[in-house]
Amino acid sequence: MNLENIIKKASQTLKNHNIHSHDLDAEVIISNIMGVNREYLITKNKIMVPEKIVKKYDIAIGRRIKKEPVAYIIGKKEFWSKDFIVNRNTLIPRPETEILVYKVIRYFKNKKINILDIGTGTGCILLSILKELNRSRGIGIDISKKAVQIAKINSKNFNLMHRSKFKVCNLENYNVGKYDLIVSNPPYILSQDMKNLSEDIINHEPKLALDGGVDGLDLIKKVIYKSNRLLKRDGLLALEIGFNQYRKVLGILKKSGFREIGKEYDYKTNVRCIISTKIDIF
C-alpha cells in the first residue's frame, strides 16, 4: 500500500472513533515514525511504505484510538518553536502557556536575572525563557522525580545545562536563594471539574499536575506565599491561572504583599496570566 492510502485509512479509522483531528493526527504520527516532515507526505505520497513502518503505524493509531494524546505517542510536543520531550509523567505543554513566556521575556529583555520555575514539568517555561534571555540562569523544581528527569533531558537537548538546574523538591521545603523572577503554571482545575475533562487528558495526563483542590487554588496559594519569601524586592511573580480565577487570585496576591503590573488574556478573553511585583517584606 502506498503512503497516501495508508494515511487515508488511518485517518478514517480515527474518524470512526470520534477523533476530530483525525487527518492531522494521522499525518503527524506517520511523519514522526518515518522521520520526515509533513510536506514529504504530499510530495512523496505514492511511495510504497515498508511493512515494518506500517506495523509501527498501526500500533500508534491503536493508541490514538484509545484517546492517548499524540504528544505521548510521538514522545514530543512543540513549544516556543522547540520540540520538548514529553511522556505520561509530564503535563503536555499548551500554547496558552506561551503567553506567560512571551510576557516575561518582553519585560526582562537584555537583562541578567535569576529564575525559579515552580512545578517545572518538562521544563518548557524555564528553558524557553533561558533561550531568549541568554545571560540568565534558573532552577526548576517539581515533586515528580520522573518529570524532573524529562526536564533534564530537555535542558541537555537545548544546550542549557550550564544555565539551568532541576531538582526534585516539595515547594514547602524549598528555601534556597533569592530570585528576580518566579514563574509557575500550577495545577488549577477544581477537583469537582476533573471528571469533566476530555478523555485525552483525564485518562493519560498526570492528575498531580491538574488537580488544584476544592477551589482550584490550593497550589496557587502556596506558590504566592512561598514567592513572598523567595523573591527579591521588586521581583516579579508570573502565574498562569485557570478560567474565571482572576479576581480570586488577585485578592490573594494583594493580601500577600503583591501588586499586579500586568495581565494577559487567552484567545477566549479569559485572563490566563497575571504578572505581579513584590511590594512588602513580611
Amino acid at 279: I
* Amino acid residing at 115: I
Residue type, 29: I
Query: Which residues have CB under 8 Å from 192's CB, separation 6+?
Result: 214
CATH number (1.10.10.10, 3.30.465.10, 3.30.420.40, 3.40.50.150) of 79-278 reads: 3.40.50.150
- Spatial distance between the Cα atoms of 208 and 133, rounded to a whole number of angstroms: 30
pTM of the model: 0.93
At 147-168, the pLDDT tens digits run 999 999 999 999 999 999 999 9
Q: What is the pLDDT of residue 280?
A: 57
CA pair distance 39, 272, nearest whole angstrom: 34
Rounded Cα distance between 105 and 107, Å, is 5
Report the distance separating Cα 87 and Cα 66, nearest Å: 16
The answer to whether the CB of 58 falls within 8 A of the CB of 43 is no
* Nearest alpha-carbon partner for 220 in 257, 175, 260, 183: 183
**48-96 residue pLDDT tens:** 999 999 999 999 999 999 999 999 999 999 999 999 999 999 999 999 9
Instruction: Parse the chain into domains and list their residue ranges.
Output: 3-66, 79-278
CA distance 206 to 213: 15
DSSP secondary structure of 110-152 = T---EEEEET-TTSHHHHHHHHHSTT-EEEEEES-HHHHHHHH
Say how far apart CA 167 and CA 256 lie, in whole Å: 26
Q: Judge whether 238 and 104 are in contact, CB under 8 Å.
A: yes
- Alpha-carbon distance of 118 to 107, in angstroms, equals 19
pLDDT tens sequence for the chain (282 residues): 899 999 999 999 999 999 999 999 999 999 999 999 988 999 998 999 999 999 999 999 999 999 999 999 999 999 999 999 999 999 999 999 999 999 999 999 999 999 999 999 999 999 999 999 999 999 999 999 999 999 999 999 999 999 999 999 999 999 988 999 999 999 889 898 898 999 999 999 999 888 888 888 999 999 999 999 999 988 999 999 998 899 999 999 999 999 999 999 987 788 999 999 988 544
The x, y and z cell numbers of residue 169, run together, are: 523538591
CA–CA distance, 116 with 50 (Å, rounded to integer) = 47
